[in-house]
Amino acid sequence: VNSEKLELLRRMLIIRRFEEEVERLRIAGEIVGSVHLCNGQEAIAVGVTSALNLPVDVVFPTYRGHGWSLACGVDPVRLFAELLGRETGINGGRGGSAYHFAPANGMYGENSIVGAGTVIANGAALAAQFDGSGRIAVAVIGDGAMNQGSVHEALNFAAVRSLPVVFIVENNRYSELTPIAGMAKIDRLYRRASPYGIQGLRIDGNDVELVRSTLLEIVPRVRSGDGPVLIEAATERLVGHYIGDAQIYRKPGELEAIARTEPLVRYRDVLVSNAVPAETLDEIERNIEQLIADARDEALASPLSDPTTVSEYLLA
Ligand SMILES: Cc1ncc(C[n+]2csc(CCOP(=O)(O)OP(=O)(O)O)c2C)c(N)n1
Ligand SMILES: [Mg+2]
């Protein structure tokens, strides 16, 4: 049992250290463009993917998707290389931070059109009803995306067709710089599932074991044709909306408060109380720090993408 727990910890740590390194690379100008980090939201990606049968099952993350890719098993070297615009990137440096795609891992592409992943996930789920693959699709959206028309259409269509889709709402309480309280009259977004005739529930998205056990219970039902489920996973983003966001909209003390309940701090406490020696945890942390530093160096040493091949991979 402890080895399973340590694996959940490892996966969350890989994501956190990766994101911290991405922030440094972005500030240093090695990575260009807008970058959205998922620090604080790792337990959702790790808990959900741990209950899936990837790559038969498919995941549709948002632009805040580095953690989902890593949780789906994308090699950190190839993901760093992708963000750094290198030939060796998972998409040859063409997808970058917000648009990369790793179908071999069941990661069917980030998307910067807020809410659009839901509609595409429905397509993958609809295909599953025809091809008999047993696939389920996971559509990841934010709290802000719950106010998009496309999301409501997707929820209704998935409900009516009993599609094998799990809608994961990463509720980090902000849509860009606007608190969700200023955008929705209700603060329990899972309640929007019932008007469409589907099950909705809210869980603590900072509790990796709870995310995993919830999905282990729900996924088989969705897979067997019981229809879609919407899971609101309450979390916090420990960083700005994008790298460079000064977060002046936060209340005094807010960042300090959410740092106390973030998934990594909490899970370390859980493991210690499960009699895992602190030295074991320290060693895992050191190993992952090294793994991420090595991955960064390997990616930085690889060649930049060749601009003359820019039109390759485009459909005519
Ligand atoms: C259709 C559309 N409308 C607006 C935007 C601008 N936009 C980019 S991110 C974002 C916030 C979305 O918030 P949320 O769904 O809570 O996701 P989070 O960034 O918190 O993960 C908005 C409004 C967009 N990219 N696409
Ligand atoms: Mg949000």
Q: What is the pLDDT of residues 167-225, one digit of tens each?
A: 999 999 999 999 999 999 999 999 999 999 999 999 999 999 999 999 999 999 999 99
Distance 14 CA to ligand 1 centre (A): 25
- The mean predicted confidence, pLDDT, of the chain is 97
Rounded Cα distance between 316 and 314, Å, is 6
Closest-lying ligand to the alpha carbon of 61?
1
Instruction: Check pocket membership of 236 for ligand 1, CB cut-off 6 A.
Output: no
Q: Return the closest-CA partner of residue 20 out of 243, 273, 220.
A: 243
Can you count the helices (H) and strands (E) in the chain?
11, 7
**Closest atom of ligand 1 to CA, residue 237:** 20
**Closest atom of ligand 1 to CA, residue 170:** 21
Rounded Cα distance between 283 and 227, Å, is 43
Neighbours of ion ligand 2 (CB under 5 A): 142-144, 172, 174
**Rounded percentage of the chain residues whose pLDDT exceeds 70:** 99
Q: What is the pLDDT of residue 1?
A: 63
Q: How many CB atoms lie within 10 A of CB 101?
A: 18
Distance 4 CA to ligand 1 centre (A): 34
Q: In which residue ranges of the chain is pLDDT below 70?
A: 1
**Closest atom of ligand 1 to CA, residue 146:** 15
**Closest atom of ligand 1 to CA, residue 176:** 11
Q: What is the pLDDT of residue 313?
A: 76
Residue nearest to atom 2 of ligand 1 (CA): 114
Instruction: State the SS3 of 249-266.
Output: CCCCCHHHHHHHCCHHHH
pTM comes to: 0.98
Distance 308 CA to ligand 2 centre (A): 37
Instruction: Check pocket membership of 145 for ligand 1, CB cut-off 6 A.
Output: yes
